[in-house]
Amino acid sequence: MSNVVIAGYARSPFTLATKGALARVRPDDIAAQVVAALVERTRVNPQDIEDLIVGCAFPEGEQGFNVGRMIGLLSGLPQSVGGLTVNRFCGSSMQSVHIAAGSIQLGAGDVFIAAGVESMTRVPMMGFNPLPNPALNALVPAAYIGMGDTAENVANKWHISRADQEAFAVRSQQRAAAATEAGHFTAEIVPIKSKGGVVDKDGCLRPETTAAALSQLKPAFDKDGTVTAGTSSPLTDGASAVLVCSEDYARRNGLAPLARIRSVAIAGCAPEVMGIGPVAATTKALQRAGIKISDIDVVELNEAFASQSLACARDLGIRDDILNIDGGAIALGHPLGATGARIVGKAASLLKRVGGRYALATQCIGGGQGIATILERI
Amino acid sequence: MEAIRKAAVIGAGVMGAGIAAQFANAGVPVLLLDIVPEGSKDRNALAASAIAKMLKTEPAPFMSARAAKLVSPGNIEDHLAQLAECDWIVEAVVERLDVKQALYAKIDAVRRPGTAISSNTSTIPLRLLIQGLSDAFARDFLITHFFNPPRYMRLLEIVAGERTDPQLTQSIADFADRALGKSIVHCKDSPGFIANRLGVYWLQVGVIEALDAGLTIEEADAIVGKPMGIPNTGVFGLIDLVGLDLMPHINASLAKALPPADAFHAANRELPLVKKMIAEGYTGRKGKGGFYRLNRAGGGKLKESIDLTTGAYRPQVKAELPEFAAAAKDLRKFLSSDGKFSRYAWRVLGQTLRYAASLIPEAAADINAIDEAMRLGYNWQWGPFELIDKLGAGWVADKLEKDGLSVPPLLHASRDKSFYRQDAGRRQFLGADGVYHDVERPAGVLMLEDIKRTSKPVLKNASASLWDIGDGVLCFEFTSKSNSLDDQIIALLGKTIPLVQEKYKALVIYNEGRNFSVGANLGLAIFAANIAAFGEIDKLLAAGQQTYCALKYAPFPVVSAPAGMALGGGCELLLHSDAVQAHAESYIGLVECGVGVVPAWGGCKEMLTRWSTSGMVPRGPMPAASKVFETVSTATVSKSAANAQELLYLRPSDRITMNRYRLLADAKALALQLAANYVAPKPVELKLPGTSGKLAFDMAVDGFYHRGLATDHDRVVADALAGVLSGGTADPIDVVTEEQLLNLERGAFMRLMKTEGTLARIEHMLVTGKPLRN
């Protein structure tokens, strides 16, 4: 079977929902600009692309109409390129990568763009018409549980103190600030055109955050709880994309692959503690790759909440120095459908930047799932 | 001069910015200019920060977010040329003649000839302001004196100079009346004009007499308050509101301007206590407190008052003496009795009324102007001459003489007369010429008060009356306490419908109370619940639903015209009207959840209909229901008529009247307009989310509950509301009829009425006037 590689990564700036600079830009317009830039930067021949696979957690409204196809047409991809929309909530665009990789290994194409998008401004979380099934709610009361409540549950069950969560949030902010300062995001960010001018900077960062300031915040989900807005990822607008192709194709066409996909996994867990999903998924992926967590040199663990990030890191035994080296979603933001492709692309780029052999990208998923991808340096 | 299409206000202080906001509230774009602050990067910083501050001020100077966008900040160095585009330029800069005159010269150089220029000065005479300025400038110049806050205070004093073009004055007055909603009192060019001349004197007398009599400020405010038809703030509370630091300035400027014989000088005593308070930063409510303060020391909230003898704060002591309540019923008797409270009341009121009588013709042409100025500028229920009539002019004059005070000629001449009288249904006032003249309403104003004086109701019962207001239009008036809605009102509405259908063209629902309606009579509901007469409650719900629907589908137009609060059942009446002509200051809301029930006179049904057909929300069964759930479960009340349109309590097509006095005339005109080719509306078919939607609402409420933002009983009430708004067991592909929704409303209401939590909420509201958060 052919090896699958990540041969390029790009994303839009991530900006705060509602008040951010991308609030007035349609999500398909954001994603199309990212896809077009990825094609241009990687110099892939667009005629060779089999499919554009777009992850999106609430694919309706401006994210509807099979937005994967619409983004392809908007971005100027040849009409011969397919378009698919994938929904696995927060894991959507990591799933896009997995579908691309699986297709390549199945011989169903050589080159794919795995992308993700979410405007949490323009399509609200839960969508416009949330219609949960009362029978399911009776059967599995946590099926529709709010994400904040799961973060509280994880904090309780895994004994993650408020102070630890806040220290983790400060760490994320500091790392993201340092990475911004060092220009580590410059290469990945695609400037996005908006009515108010070009948007080329991340908008969620709060580099001035201190533990003392965080300790003053009111709990965001439970008046007696420990999770605050400061230890949660903010509602965010943004898009991301990675180029996924066979290693042979990359070599033949002079592309510059960042990393090889070594293994992937998906795993379900209890919905009420969905944040712990990465543990089971990562365990499976490590097993499939035939390696141990200690073999990993770079980890991108999505920071939906500080509590679940810490619980996963502790359960998996992830070393602090390799975890979210350029900061995570608490600082950068978490546009649901776009995060998976971002952390896969980020893990691949970091592997190249910091050296080492293996990288892990993993995230938790609402409803009770985890998803993981293990990359290997080429 | 043509209409005001664009205005400018120069001076972005509290008054200038507030005046600019009122132009914006009227839909007029306005330029707000101030100086360029030294060393500031943003050359418009003063105006820009004034606008930003107003967006956070409560009560809000703006009526809507839309209005705020009509104010453009600028500065007098870069943007003066834009004054050429403005039709009215209001100057509201610092009270210094040299500064104002220098500015006028600059304005004169850029303005279009014929553009009105007015000053908001409260102390400088017009003749001084225009000294040395061109004839053309003097012709276009006048004083327009607004009261603080400009959005809420209805009085506008206008002073025209000898050279001011009368036509220009007339068109400014007309615009201020119709567009800005102000009632105009024309004043002479005399110090302090009318309201402040008398008002400041009254405050000063109120303070010094309290000091001399050894009264507490609570006692003083209780006496010079309700018994005299004066707001509860009385004297000391009002000074706190205006700002203690302003007192010495205003007093000094009046003292300087008034002739030596004026009675003001005797009252203008220096007050060491006030001086000390100002020096310590106790400037009133805008500072850290004034005569009254909220002591937050130690994390508490202790209400304190100044002790006038020691000058120290002490815990507030409510002055609730039986004699004060008696005074409110019979003021003359109270003033006649002996004792320090009565003496204080007379000393303050007697001198104030005497001073008022001395202001004609110097400050005002007639008594009506003075009364109107005090009613609208100081919110007095009765003007000074109306108060004299209540006491008897002769009685007042005698009592003044007994005190050794001279009686002003006007009062002396009226000893055996009243200042106002009714003549053939017309209200008349006694002119300075000793002859009675009609109290004239501004052109086009129609007041129910006037109609009632000359006619008999077409129908009437204990809680409502129906009046013929001419041209085939009937006016339905609530007459119950606080205009609360009860079975009598529903019954009379029921009788009104066939009557209008048979003999008239249209119906207007309107009254001249402080509030359109505070909602259903809760006292009746709790009484029925306490004796377990639930059948009676259900009957009233059914009758209300039926009557409101009958109004909606009647073959004639129904126009409701609210002002003030229109809550609960009052709001539901608006929702069932064909159109609403609302006063700009209308505070509308479905507040039922606050007292533990749900809207059950069709409020849920109508709000669902509005949001579903609004085109303002995405498609599908949930968005409209969600909007209504959000608004109704939180008992949201609009902060203005414009805000009510944003909440869809009013339709975008409903109309707004800025001047309270013009509301009925506008409503009647709208009703007649609709009566031509009137077609009754058709029921709307709604598709609702059913049990899935209810689950989504319940989940959202659970979130609020866990966050500590919703209480135990909030959950119960919201669950019942969710059951109604989701359409019960409706399948999203089926149509829910109005009748089904009305049944859901009633069912939910009745279930809630049987819960302890709801009964506790209603009782608490009746006793305290505030919602219980149980």
Domain B7-186: give its CATH code: 3.40.50.720
Q: What is the average pLDDT value for chain A, to the nearest integer?
A: 97
- Check whether B12 has a pLDDT greater than 60: yes
pLDDT, tens only, B624-678: 999 999 999 999 999 999 999 999 999 999 999 999 999 999 999 999 999 999 9
With CA atoms as reference, the chain B residue closest to A227 would be B707
pLDDT single digits (tens) B61-96: 999 999 999 999 999 999 999 999 999 999 999 989
| B737: β partners | none
Distance from CA of A44 to the nearest CA of B (A): 39
The ranges assigned to domains in chain B are: 7-186, 195-430, 448-591+637-675, 690-768
d(CA B624, nearest CA chain A) in Å = 10
A364 is annotated as an active-site residue? yes
Phi, psi of A292 (to 5 degrees): -115, 165
Report the pLDDT value the prediction gives residue B26, as an integer from 0 to 100.
Answer: 97
Question: How many Cβ atoms from other residues are within 10 Å of residue B82's Cβ?
Answer: 15
Hey, are the CB atoms on B707 and A132 less than 8 Å from each other?
no
Complex-level ipTM: 0.90
Least trusted range by pLDDT, from A330-334, B337-341, B355-359, B759-763: B337-341
Query: Has A269 been annotated as catalytic?
Result: no
Q: Which of the following is catalytic: A98, A204, A312, A334?
A: A334
Structure confidence at residue B491 as a pLDDT band (50, 70, 90): very high
Confidence class of residue B529 from pLDDT cuts 50, 70 and 90?
Answer: confident
- Asked if B259 reaches chain A (Cβ–Cβ under 8 Å), the answer is no
Report the pLDDT averaged over residues A275-281. Answer: 98
Contact between B732 and B687 (Cβ < 8 Å) = yes
User: pLDDT tens-digit profile of B310-333?
Assistant: 999 999 998 877 788 888 889 999
Strand order in the sheet with B302-306: B292-295, B302-306, B313-315
pLDDT band at B249 (very low <50, low <70, confident <90, very high): confident
Contact B618 A220 (CB under 8 A): no
Across B673-690, b (16+ Cβ under 10 Å) vs e yields ebbeeeeeeeeeebbbbb
The conformation of residue B564, written as its DSSP 8-state character, comes to: E
Contact flag B618-A133 (C-beta cutoff 8 Å): no
Secondary-structure breakdown of chain B: helix, strand, coil percentages, each rounded to the nearest 5: 50, 15, 40
Q: Do residues B633 and B718 touch, judged by C-beta distance below 8 A?
A: yes
Which residues are CB-neighbours of A170 under 8 A, at least 6 positions away? A209, A210, A211, A214
DSSP secondary structure code for residue A184 in this structure: T
Please spell the DSSP secondary structure of B1-66, one letter per residue.
----SSEEEE--SHHHHHHHHHHHHTT--EEEEEPPPTT-SSTTHHHHHHHHHHHH-SS-S-SSHH
Residue A17 amino acid letter: A
What does each C-alpha distance from A77 to A44, A103, A108, B706 come to in angstroms? 11, 20, 19, 48
The class level of CATH for B195-430 reads mainly alpha
| Contact predicate A52/A30, CB 8 Å | no
Cα distances from A69 to residues A36, A369, B88, B324, B589, in angstroms, run: 14, 27, 56, 78, 45
| Alpha carbon of A141: minimum distance to chain B alpha carbons (Å) | 11
Does the pLDDT value for residue B1 go beyond 60? Answer: no
CB-closest option in A61, A126, A129 to B621: A129
Helix axis angle for B603-613 and B569-576, nearest 10°, is 50
Q: Which residues of chain B have a CB within 8 Å of the CB of A61?
A: 618
CA distance B230 to B243: 19
Distance from CA of B603 to the nearest CA of A (A): 23
Superfamily of domain A261-377: Thiolase/Chalcone synthase (3.40.47.10)
What values do phi and psi take at B397, rounded to 5? -60, -45
Q: Residue B622 is nearest to which of A130, A221, A222, comparing CB atoms?
A: A130
CB of B696 within 8 Å of a chain A CB? The answer is yes
HSE-CB at A3 with a 13 A cutoff on CA atoms is 17
Can you tell me the mean pLDDT for B225-244?
93
Nearest CB neighbour to A131, from listed B689, B703, B707:
B689
**Mean pLDDT, range B592-610, rounded to an integer:** 97
Stretch B617-621: mean pLDDT, rounded? 92
Q: Are B448 and B469 in contact (CB under 8 A)?
A: yes
Q: Which amino acid would we find at residue B562?
A: P
Angle (nearest 5°) at CA A352 between A346 and A356: 105
**What tokens appear for B517 in the block?**
């309606």
Q: Average pLDDT in the A153-163 region?
A: 98
Which tokens belong to B81?
A: 């040329």
Position A132: which residue type?
Answer: P
pLDDT for residue B525 is more than 90: no
pTM of the model as a whole: 0.91
d(CA A325, CA A242): 19
For residue A242, give how far its alpha carbon lies from the nearest alpha carbon of chain B (Å). 32
Q: Where does chain A show beta strands of DSSP type E?
A: 4-11, 15-16, 49-55, 82-86, 111-119, 192-194, 197-199, 236-246, 259-268, 296-301, 358-365, 369-377
Structural element, H or E, at residue B427:
strand B426-430
Length of chain A: 378
Residue B673 has what pLDDT? 98
CB contact under 8 A, A131 and B732: yes
Q: Which residues of B touch A129 (CB under 8 A)?
A: 618, 620-623, 689
CATH 3.40.50.300 fits B448-591+637-675, yes or no: no
The answer to whether B621 faces chain A, any CB pair under 8 Å, is: yes
Contacts by residues B313-322 (CB-CB < 8 Å, ≥ 24 positions apart):
B316/B218, B316/B292, B317/B216, B317/B218, B318/B218, B319/B216, B319/B218, B319/B219, B319/B221, B319/B222, B320/B222, B321/B222
Question: Cβ distance B641 to B579 under 8 Å?
Answer: no
Q: Hunting for tokens 């009062």 — which residue is that?
A: B411
Residue B536: predicted pLDDT: 92
DSSP letter for B339, please. Answer: S
CB of B733 less than 8 A from some CB of A: no
Q: What is the pLDDT of residue B321?
A: 79
Q: For the stretch A343-371, what's the b/e string if a residue is b when 16 or more beta carbons lie within 10 angstroms of its beta carbon?
A: bbbbbbbbbbeeebebbbbbbbbbbbbbb
The model's confidence at residue A117, banded by pLDDT at 50, 70 and 90, is: very high
**pLDDT value at B45 more than 70:** yes
Whole-angstrom distance, CA of residue B313 vs CA of residue B307:
6
* Closest-approach residue (CA) in chain A for B691: A134
Picking from A130, A148, A223, the nearest residue to B696 by CB comes out as A130
Q: Which chain A positions have a beta carbon within 8 Å of B689's beta carbon? A: 129, 131
Segments making up each domain of chain A, as ranges: 261-377
Q: Which residues make beta-bridge pairs with B560?
A: B509, B580
Helices B534-553 and B738-753, axial angle in degrees (round to 10): 150
pLDDT value for A238: 98
- Both structure tokens of B182: 């102000």
Q: What is the mean pLDDT of residues B581-600?
A: 98
Could you tell me what percent of chain A has a pLDDT over 90? 99
For range A143-161, the mean pLDDT: 97
Q: State how far the Cα of A111 lies from the Cα of A125, in Å rounded to an integer.
A: 32
Between chain A and chain B, the number of residue pairs with CB atoms below 8 A apart is 52
Q: How many angstroms away from the CA of B689 is the closest CA of chain A?
A: 7
Judged by CB atoms closer than 8 Å, whether chains meet at B708 and A223 is answered as yes
For B411-428, write each residue's pLDDT tens digit: 999 999 999 999 888 899
Please name the amino acid found at residue B483: N
Question: Strand order of the sheet with strand B426-430?
Answer: B420-423, B426-430, B436-438
Sign of the CA dihedral running B573, B574, B578, B582: positive
Helix (H, G, I), strand (E, B) or coil at B606: helix
| For residue A192, pLDDT beyond 90 | yes
Which residue from B689, B706, B698, B717 is spatially nearest to B774, judged by alpha carbons?
A: B717
| Closest CA in chain A for residue B732 | A131
Residue-level pLDDT at B301: 85
Tokens of A346: 């980020």
The secondary structure of B354-389 as a DSSP string is HHHHTTTTTT-SSHHHHHHHHHHHS--SS-HHHHHH
* B707:A222 CB<8 A: yes
Q: Indicate the residue of B691, B693, B699 with minimum beta-carbon distance to A144.
A: B699
Give yes or no for B711 touching A (CB within 8 A): no
CA dist B591 → A59, B515, B567, B570, B574 (Å): 36, 15, 6, 10, 14
Whether residue B2 is predicted with pLDDT greater than 70 in this model: the reply is no
- Count the Cβ atoms, other than its own, within 10 Å of residue A46: 18
Pick the catalytic residue from A56, A90, A204, A269: A90
**Cα–Cα distance between A349 and A351 in angstroms, integer?**
5
Give the chain B residue whose CA is nearest to the CA of A134.
B692
Which residues on A lie below 8 Å from B707 (Cβ)?
Answer: 219-223
